[in-house]
A = this chain, B = another copy of it.
Amino acid sequence: MNDFNVSCPIPLDKYPQVLLAHGGGGKLMQQLLEKMVFSTFKTAQDIPPHDSAVINLPGSKIAFTTDSYVIHPLFFPGGDIGSLAINGTVNDLAMSGARPLYLSLGFIIEEGLPMETLWRVIQSLKKAADVANIQVVTGDTKVVDRGKGDGIFINTAGVGIIEHDRSIAPQFVQPGDAILINGDIGRHGISIMAVREGLELETTIESDCAPLHNVVLEMLNQGIEINCLRDLTRGGLASALNEIATSAEVTINIKERTISIQEDVQGACEILGFDPLYVANEGKFVAFIPQSSVNQALKIMKSFSQDASIIGEVTGHGTDMGLVTLESKIGSQRIVDMLSGEQLPRIC
């Protein structure tokens, strides 16, 4: 899963672990950056990044976002902190309908991190960036004393270009909009929990960690009138819908039978006492689409993932604003509220 084919360019017998000095601005930091980071992420730019990367954008309407990644453990089935740090930020750009172009990369490393672990993470970052067709153009490395961090934290900030005239945001959601999802839910959070809890399952549940910009850009390209997009990360589907319902001042109804959940994920949720509606995903999103575009939108989403579906619709405006309800498989209605905190800390 976590390919580790290229041997670490820093001699591991000499530097088996990251030292405070690797973040200190001197020779050791320069060596680490040049051998491990710059050479991995070298770009076609004329001028290598010094203090800032200087880049030309094909347009001046941009999306700009940031996320820090503190996931524990660093490696999990279906991904690791590196692929997560790329895809998470790519997806935040995609949810604005932007084409992701450039990323910054900030490491906060705990003194004592095995150098080989850092190299695995960098290799994974590179692989995920290549898959998402995004360039890492600037970065920073800090090292904190042992016991003052937790292995490695990564921040990525992303810049993307907006090539269309649509306004995609919660306040453009309209009563009657259909709510589409691009596949099954709950896999990311449960894959992390299964590793943390040492859960013995028949099959290994893999995170759904993946970039989402291609399906979004294809919908925009085909003229789908997208009103709102949202990836289903911390807090899962339930929290995303609640936030949008509150911002848009609408009510939302979803149908349980249309929401796809893998059998092993459902089983693990039952063992752990989790509601899959609140479990984090890293490759799933909802789209709010006017009825006139629904069939075409679903067709495009299905061409990227077969289990895309329509899970509900925006039912009202103004009254009971912010309310999200679910029609269960047996036909009863219940309210889907926000949780206070979350079920699963540090899943991203």
In the complex, whether A170 has a CB less than 8 A from a CB of chain B is yes
CB distance from A168 to the nearest CB of B (A): 8
Query: For the complex formed by this chain, how many copies does it contain in all?
Result: 2
Q: Is A157 positioned at the interface, with any CB of B under 8 Å from its CB?
A: yes
Asked if A68 and B155 sit within 8 Å, CB to CB, the answer is yes
- Dominant secondary structure of chain A at its interface with chain B: mixed
Q: Write the A62-106 contact mask toward B (1 if CB under 8 angstroms, else 0).
A: 111111111010000000000000000001110110100010111
- When distances are taken between beta carbons in the complex, the residues of chain B under 8 Å from A335 are none
Known A25-B233, A68-B155, A239-B26: A50·B95 in contact at CB below 8 Å: yes
Total interface residues on A, CB under 8 Å, equals: 91
Verify B66–A140 contact, CB threshold 8 A. Answer: yes
A346-B30 contact, Cβ under 8 Å, with A60-B58, A68-B155, A239-B25: no
A149 — which chain B residues lie within 8 A by C-beta? 148-150
Listed in ascending order, the chain A residues whose CB lies under 8 Å from chain B are: 19-30, 47-70, 72, 91-93, 95-96, 98, 102, 104-108, 137-140, 142-145, 147-150, 153, 155, 157-160, 162, 167, 169-171, 229-231, 233-236, 239, 243, 247, 280, 338-342, 345-346, 348
